[in-house]
Structure 1
Amino acid sequence: MKLREQMPELTGATAWLNGEVTKDQLVGDKPTLIHYWSVSCGLCKEAMPQINEFRDEYKDKLNVVAVHMPRSEKDLDIEKVKEVALEHDISQPLFVDNDHKLTDAFENQYVPAYYVFDKEGKLRHFQAGGSGMKMLTKRVNRVLEESEKAE
C-alpha cells in the first residue's frame, strides 16, 4: 500500500475473534491502527504489550484492529491463534487471515507490520519489523492530534 491510499475493505476473514468490524465502522470516526502479527513471530509477541498500551491509552481516540497473518501451515490452527491472543491480551477485534485475503489487499509481506490510517481512512504511516516503537508512537500521536484539530 502507498501512503494516502484508502483503507481496504476488511473482508475475507477466516474468522473474527473479539467481535467483527467493518471499514465503514472505522472510517469517519477516529484514526485506526491495524497491526499484523503471527503466532510464530517472536518479535510480534514482544511488541504486543506496546500495541495493547495504544489500545488502552487511546481507547476513546483510536481504533485498534489486529490481523493474524499465518506464515506457515502451523500458523493456520485457529485454536492456537485463540490461545496466543489470550496469552498476549489481544482483546481488540482480531481478523484471522488464513487465506491471505486482507494481507493481499494491503500488499503486506511482513509481521509485525503496522498501518496507521487517519479518520478519513487514508494510510498515513506504515512500519514493519520489531524496532521503531518510538516512531510508531510519534506517527500515531501526529494523526491523533490532526483529527482532534479537525473536529
Structure 2
Amino acid sequence: MKLREEMPELDGAVNWLNRKVTKNELVGEKPTLFHFWSVSCHLCKKALLDINKLRDDYREELNVVAVHMPRIKSDHDINVIKQTSCDHDITQPIYLDGKFILTDAFGTRTVPAYYIFDRNGQLRHFQAGGNGMKMLQTRLRRILGKG
C-alpha cells in the first residue's frame, strides 16, 4: 500500500478471534493500527509486548487490529493461534488471514508489519520488521496529535 491509500475492506477472514470488526466501525472516530503477525514468528511475539502497551496506553484513542498471516502450513492451526494469542495477551480483534485476502490487499510480504490509518481511513505510516518500534511509537503519537 502507498501512503494516503484508503483502508481496505475487512472481508475474507477465515475466522475472527476475540471479535469481528468492519471497516465502517474503524473509520471515522479514531486512528487504527493493524499489526500483521504469525505464530511461527519469533520477532512478532517479541513485538507483541510493545503492541499491547500501545493498545492499552491509547485504549480510548486508537483502534488496534491483529492480522494473523500464516507463513508455514502449521500456522493454519486455529488451536495454536488461539493458545498463542492467549499466551501473549492479544485481546484485540484478530483477523485470521488463512487465504491471504487482507495480506494481499495490504501488499504485506513479511511479518511483523504495521500499518497506521488516520481516523479518515487513509494510510499514514507503514513499517515492517522487528526493529523500529520507537519510530512506530513516534508516528503514532504524531497521528494521535500528541507529538
Give the Å deviation of 1:131: 0.5
Q: Which residue of 2 aligns with 1:18?
A: 18
The one-letter code sitting in structure 2 at the alignment partner of 1:112 is: P
Could you state the TM-score of these two structures normalised by the residue count of structure 1?
Answer: 0.96
SS of equivalent to 1:55: helix
1:81-110 Cα deviation digits (max 9, x unpaired): 001000000000000000001101111111
Between the aligned partners of 2:42 and 2:112, the Cα distance in structure 1 is 9
Q: Which residue of 2 aligns with 1:89?
A: 89
Give the Å deviation of 1:113: 0.1
Q: Which residue of 1 aligns with 2:120?
A: 120
1:49 aligns with 2:49: yes
Q: Spell out structure 1 runs of 4+ moving beyond 3 A.
A: none
SS of equivalent to 1:13: coil
SS of equivalent to 2:48: helix
* Structure 2 unpaired stretches of 5+: none
Alignment of 1:24-39 (within 5 A): 24-39=24-39
Between the aligned partners of 1:106 and 1:17, the Cα distance in structure 2 is 20
Q: Which residue of 2 aligns with 1:69?
A: 69
Q: Which residue of 2 aligns with 1:149?
A: none
Give the Å deviation of 1:5: 0.1
* Structure 1 unpaired stretches of 5+: 147-151
Alignment of 1:89-108 (within 5 A): 89-108=89-108
Give the Å deviation of 1:46: 0.3
The one-letter code sitting in structure 1 at the alignment partner of 2:48 is: M
1:90-142 Cα deviation digits (max 9, x unpaired): 00000000000110111111100000000000000000000000000000001
SS of equivalent to 1:98: coil
The one-letter code sitting in structure 2 at the alignment partner of 1:124 is: R
The one-letter code sitting in structure 2 at the alignment partner of 1:110 is: T
The number of equivalent residue pairs is 146
Q: Which residue of 2 aligns with 1:80?
A: 80
SS of equivalent to 2:144: helix
Could you state the TM-score of these two structures normalised by the residue count of structure 2?
Answer: 0.98
Between the aligned partners of 2:84 and 2:14, the Cα distance in structure 1 is 17
RMSD (Å) for aligned C-alpha atoms: 0.7
Between the aligned partners of 1:137 and 1:12, the Cα distance in structure 2 is 29
Q: Which residue of 2 aligns with 1:2?
A: 2
The one-letter code sitting in structure 2 at the alignment partner of 1:72 is: I
The one-letter code sitting in structure 2 at the alignment partner of 1:10 is: L
